[in-house]
Structure 1
Amino acid sequence: MQILSALLAVAKSERQPVYLQIANQLMTLIKDGTLQPGYRLLSTRQLASSIKVHRRMVVQAYDELLAQGWLESHTGNGTFVANNLPAIRRQGPENQVKADSALKKAGFSFEKSQHLNRAVLKSGTRLHLDDGFPDPRLAPVEELSRAYRSQLLHGNPYIRLGYGDTKGAAWLRQELASHLNETRGLKITADNVLIVRGVIMGIHLVSTGLLKPGDHVAVDSPGWFGANMNFIRAGAHIAQIPVDEHGMIVDELEKLCQQQPVRLVYVTSHHHYPTTVALRADRRISLLKLAEKYGFIIFEDDYDYDFHYLSKPLLPVAGADKAGMVLYCGSFSKTISPAFRVGYLVGPEDAITHLALFRRIIDRQGDQMLENAIAELLQTGVVQRHLRKSVRVYKQRRDVFCDLLKTQLGDKVEFEIPDGGMAVWARFDPSIDIEKLAARALQKDLYFSDGSLLKRPGEGKDSIRLGFASSDLSELEESVGIIKDLL
């Protein structure tokens, strides 16, 4: 009695019920070999007395372990550790060390992929010149919360809270079709829309569903590593197509097509990532003609189309597609906030239906409550009003930020004022070690990229994106001041 009572410790102040504490500790003693199969336990009265708990707690603990098969009861003879359990040699101290390390290091082998080894951008510092994120302080959070609450409380709960269409909420797909037709010159219906968690999910689905190992994929250079990681994971060969002040050099793409078959071309047409330049109109036409001629898919990533300041934005390549060669992708991550994971992939109906099958095996459906809430905001015009307000605010921030860069860092940084988007493509003096500068700024509670993710092959890390949209005017001034002091 004394030995078993010494092995059990009950803390009545813990949140876990006392009977579960007893049951879990007995289970651990069986699993580590301390209590062997056939071992006779104390009666419920004896054990309760020895560990000073109410007998009902021990009865419940025994019942729990009997139900799970750890114990067996012999009427009139007592309760025993189940005989059908394998005998386990009692664990020594070295085995405990091994068990503890199992939480840190897997006992099985797996191959680590270098192309996945990229830093994850996270919010954390007080000041930030980030990758080009929106300001969540401007987001229509109150309207969204009311719409979300309405979705939770009203309507048929079986439908509202049950499984829905793998392609996404029908209401949102309908509203998006209308919105994209009106703002981007598309001519689509809800059947052309697949709701995704964001652009990265759209790229993943296309990589999984439309690429085969050995396919050739052409991408912008410099470009977005997030897209490239998916193409590499699919077993594709990446071909880098250079970008100049007018976007992807389509003539270089044509040369590639003449040399080898190209399956897909990934392009950020409106505000190229990372340089922010727009793909010129004549190159858009040439790109579509090449797609028809050589039969490749165009994946058009239009991640921040809505934020353009100079004039009306160029319409997407998808709007002029007459042959069904373009898959068009965007999201509300830049429109509202990255926390709201709702995006859209637009394309021919048969391709969207095909890709929806792949969406189902990684994510049965998205957040129907959120999707319908956003549909309501689109229908009532809240999103449209938010965009008009945000464009005014971000334009002011762009102008102030560019003026600060010119007046405070003009001898150290070169840049072109972007026509749109949420970031400036800044080229630092080659003598400046951006990686060290970013590390020192981080000590001042200011984050900006160290350039490692955007380094061109064979070139130094002298150019980075400096996001201005997520900071107000005083924060922008303080951030540039910190960089000036560090330089």
Structure 2
Amino acid sequence: MPSPVDIPYRSFIQIDRKSSTPVYLQIANEFIKAIQRNTLSANSKLLGTRALSNLLGTHRNTIVAAYDELAAQGWISIQPNSGAYVSAALPIDEKRKINKATYPAATGFSFKQSLLLDSPYEQGNFQYILNDGTPDIRLTQIDDLSRIYSSTIKRKGNRRKMDYYNQEGSEYFKEQLLAYLHLSRGLHVSSTNVLITRSTEMSLFIISEILLKPNDKVVVAELSYFSANMIFQKNGASIQTIPIDDEGMDTDSLARLCEHMSIRMVYVSAQHHYPTTVTLSAKRRIALLALAEKYGFAIVEDDQDYDFHYNKQPMLPIATADTKGMVIYVSSFGKSLVPGFRTGFIVAPENLMLEMRKHLGIIDRQGDVLMEQALGEMIEEGVIHRHLKKSLKIYKERRDQMAELLQHDFSSYLHTNIPTGGLAFWLEFKVPINLLKLSRDCAQKGLFLPKTNLYQSKRITGMRIGFGNLNSEELSRSLFLLKSSLDSLN
């Protein structure tokens, strides 16, 4: 047994004078960690309270309180006229003895690891970024958001709601959302058909947990949203791809596929396909619904960019024409707002919704009642409508500027169509180039072109680039750098 004076107390006891935790508890906690790691072995005698207080620069009563706390928890025993000792009854393994306090670098047990779910997103500190099409938070009406959220917190009637949250969501928000969906999308649904989630990805995760089992066939377009594919594959689904053209997903190819295999789900973004931005034609929407009814597969309609349209009123969702309960409609609300004010939602028949609520109650029981209350008031007061109307004018100007720049400077390299909605362009190269080399060259010039924007196969070389997050100067500079990189690679 080492002498108390030989124990390196300073090496494992660190005191933070600015912490809100009392000093005696900090000392007690450091002792507990040292005992658990076997830095202090069983039966070790501890330094006396006076000597330890001098060593650590604390009052003796602080050390007395720390020792009393350790004794009360059973970590040490205090023997009258003898001193304090590490308890001999603790099951400490000598093999775990270490010289200093460190946190383990790895678990001591095995667990399931997934390469499939490795994050595809990249981070970079660049002045210019061509992302896949996100709104510009600089356009957000911060004053309106802060006013409504602040009043929501202060309102006495809402304080009781903070104590408990029903995972089915705020009834007030759902009431306002239903009115909004009826006016904007023509969806005639009740509160029993709506589930409030945190995001589109959470919505897809819940749907996949309920609908998919290993080896189920999920059909997506040849080019599709990578996060959705990852979620489906996480549940063991087998991804089947079909071609996409200027009318959207090829339903004739889907019909031929259905003749040879059992399809469980078709994932489609009918309004603005990700990544190509094309709209699924009316003819193919009718054909898709008919195939779902004939072969019994579910349609998951992801409507991520419905609010952003410029030339004319957008086509109504497929879900509005569904009379047999074949469509699960997934979208988000408040995408033009700052990220903290956005939320996702699912619209589906009531029997499926009952099961979805069970899953949401496990993964997100708390929800965000204050945010939902604030969003509901923003709909009721017309804040959302005013903000969208103002921001859409700016986004249309940015879309037109990018279209002009692409036509003028890039026509020899690629062709593109002007999107009728959304916040991104789809660019398809006339002659294939190495897109990874292009991305690296852009990075050297100060332009970030994420790999998740790039699509390259034997048949297609294309990329999706957003304009929503860039003002006029940033748009011009970003495309100038992109053109410079293309010139250098050709």
TM-score of the aligned structures, taking structure 1 as reference length = 0.92
Alignment of 1:283-362 (within 5 A): 283-332=284-333, 334-362=335-363
Match for residue 175 of structure 1? Answer: 176
State yes or no: 1:82 paired with 2:87: yes
Taking a change above 3 Å as real, the CA distance of residues 8 and 218 of structure 1, as seen in their structure-2 partners, is: closer
User: Shift of the alpha carbon at 1:122?
Assistant: 5.2
Taking a change above 3 Å as real, the CA distance of residues 52 and 472 of structure 1, as seen in their structure-2 partners, is: closer
8 A Cα contact 1:132 1:468, kept in partner = yes
Secondary structure at 1:240's aligned position in 2?
A: strand
8 A Cα contact 2:153 2:159, kept in partner = no
Secondary structure at 1:454's aligned position in 2?
A: strand
Secondary structure at 2:18's aligned position in 1?
A: coil
Match for residue 138 of structure 1? Answer: 139
Output the aligned Cα RMSD: 2.4
8 A Cα contact 1:5 1:50, kept in partner = no
Alignment of 1:426-465 (within 5 A): 426-450=427-451, 454-456=455-457, 458-459=458-459, 462-465=461-464
**2:6 corresponds to which of 3, 17, 20:** 3
Match for residue 149 of structure 1? Answer: 150
Match for residue 405 of structure 2? Answer: 404
User: Shift of the alpha carbon at 1:114?
Assistant: 3.3
Paired with 1:150 and 1:395, the residues of 2 have a C-alpha distance of 33
Match for residue 67 of structure 2? Answer: 62
**2:24 corresponds to which of 19, 22, 28:** 19
Deviates more, 1:75-84 or 1:391-400: 75-84
Taking a change above 3 Å as real, the CA distance of residues 23 and 244 of structure 1, as seen in their structure-2 partners, is: same
Paired with 1:433 and 1:316, the residues of 2 have a C-alpha distance of 37
Equivalent position amino acid for 2:421 in 1: G
Match for residue 102 of structure 1? Answer: 104
Match for residue 425 of structure 1? Answer: 426
Match for residue 274 of structure 1? Answer: 275
Secondary structure at 2:242's aligned position in 1?
A: strand
8 A Cα contact 2:218 2:264, kept in partner = yes
Equivalent position amino acid for 2:465 in 1: L
User: Shift of the alpha carbon at 1:298?
Assistant: 0.9
8 A Cα contact 1:8 1:51, kept in partner = no
User: Shift of the alpha carbon at 1:53?
Assistant: 2.2
Taking a change above 3 Å as real, the CA distance of residues 61 and 305 of structure 1, as seen in their structure-2 partners, is: same
Secondary structure at 1:86's aligned position in 2?
A: coil
The number of aligned residues is 481
Equivalent position amino acid for 1:470 in 2: N
Equivalent position amino acid for 1:355 in 2: M
Could you list the runs of 5+ residues in structure 2 that have no partner in the other structure? none
Paired with 2:8 and 2:312, the residues of 1 have a C-alpha distance of 79
- CA deviations on 1:162-200 (whole Å, 9 max, x unpaired) are 222212111111111110011111111122110011111
Secondary structure at 1:265's aligned position in 2?
A: strand
Taking a change above 3 Å as real, the CA distance of residues 263 and 62 of structure 1, as seen in their structure-2 partners, is: same
User: Shift of the alpha carbon at 1:408?
Assistant: 1.9
- CA deviations on 1:219-272 (whole Å, 9 max, x unpaired) are 121101111111111122211121110001111111112222211111000000
User: Shift of the alpha carbon at 1:156?
Assistant: 3.8
Paired with 2:193 and 2:241, the residues of 1 have a C-alpha distance of 30
Paired with 1:26 and 1:47, the residues of 2 have a C-alpha distance of 12
Deviates more, 1:335-344 or 1:354-363: 335-344
State yes or no: 1:229 paired with 2:230: yes
Equivalent position amino acid for 2:44 in 1: Y
Paired with 1:117 and 1:36, the residues of 2 have a C-alpha distance of 41
Alignment of 1:204-283 (within 5 A): 204-283=205-284
Paired with 1:45 and 1:293, the residues of 2 have a C-alpha distance of 85
- CA deviations on 1:267-315 (whole Å, 9 max, x unpaired) are 0000001000000011111111111111111110000011111211000
Paired with 2:174 and 2:406, the residues of 1 have a C-alpha distance of 42
Taking a change above 3 Å as real, the CA distance of residues 9 and 327 of structure 1, as seen in their structure-2 partners, is: closer
Secondary structure at 1:172's aligned position in 2?
A: helix
State yes or no: 1:474 paired with 2:477: no
8 A Cα contact 2:124 2:448, kept in partner = no
Secondary structure at 1:112's aligned position in 2?
A: coil
User: Shift of the alpha carbon at 1:413?
Assistant: 2.3
Equivalent position amino acid for 2:27 in 1: I
Match for residue 198 of structure 2? Answer: 197
8 A Cα contact 1:151 1:160, kept in partner = no
Match for residue 396 of structure 2? Answer: 395
8 A Cα contact 2:222 2:243, kept in partner = yes
Paired with 2:312 and 2:384, the residues of 1 have a C-alpha distance of 20
Secondary structure at 2:116's aligned position in 1?
A: helix
Equivalent position amino acid for 1:27 in 2: I
Match for residue 384 of structure 2? Answer: 383
Paired with 1:326 and 1:484, the residues of 2 have a C-alpha distance of 42
Deviates more, 1:9-18 or 1:357-366: 9-18
User: Shift of the alpha carbon at 1:370?
Assistant: 1.0
Paired with 1:211 and 1:32, the residues of 2 have a C-alpha distance of 45
Match for residue 36 of structure 2? Answer: 31
Secondary structure at 2:181's aligned position in 1?
A: helix
Equivalent position amino acid for 1:102 in 2: P
Equivalent position amino acid for 2:413 in 1: K
Paired with 2:432 and 2:257, the residues of 1 have a C-alpha distance of 35
Identity %: 39
8 A Cα contact 1:2 1:50, kept in partner = no
User: Shift of the alpha carbon at 1:118?
Assistant: 4.2
User: Shift of the alpha carbon at 1:446?
Assistant: 1.8
Paired with 2:264 and 2:93, the residues of 1 have a C-alpha distance of 56
8 A Cα contact 1:167 1:365, kept in partner = no
Match for residue 43 of structure 1? Answer: 48
8 A Cα contact 2:170 2:369, kept in partner = yes
Equivalent position amino acid for 1:207 in 2: S
Secondary structure at 1:305's aligned position in 2?
A: coil
- CA deviations on 1:76-114 (whole Å, 9 max, x unpaired) are 54322122112442766xx569x85832x3333334333
Paired with 1:304 and 1:123, the residues of 2 have a C-alpha distance of 25
Paired with 1:13 and 1:110, the residues of 2 have a C-alpha distance of 36
User: Shift of the alpha carbon at 1:12?
Assistant: 6.3
Taking a change above 3 Å as real, the CA distance of residues 23 and 313 of structure 1, as seen in their structure-2 partners, is: same
Paired with 2:68 and 2:425, the residues of 1 have a C-alpha distance of 66
Could you list the runs of 5+ residues in structure 1 that have no partner in the other structure? none
TM-score of the aligned structures, taking structure 2 as reference length = 0.91
**1:72 corresponds to which of 55, 77, 97:** 77
Secondary structure at 2:407's aligned position in 1?
A: helix
Equivalent position amino acid for 1:415 in 2: T
Paired with 2:456 and 2:111, the residues of 1 have a C-alpha distance of 29
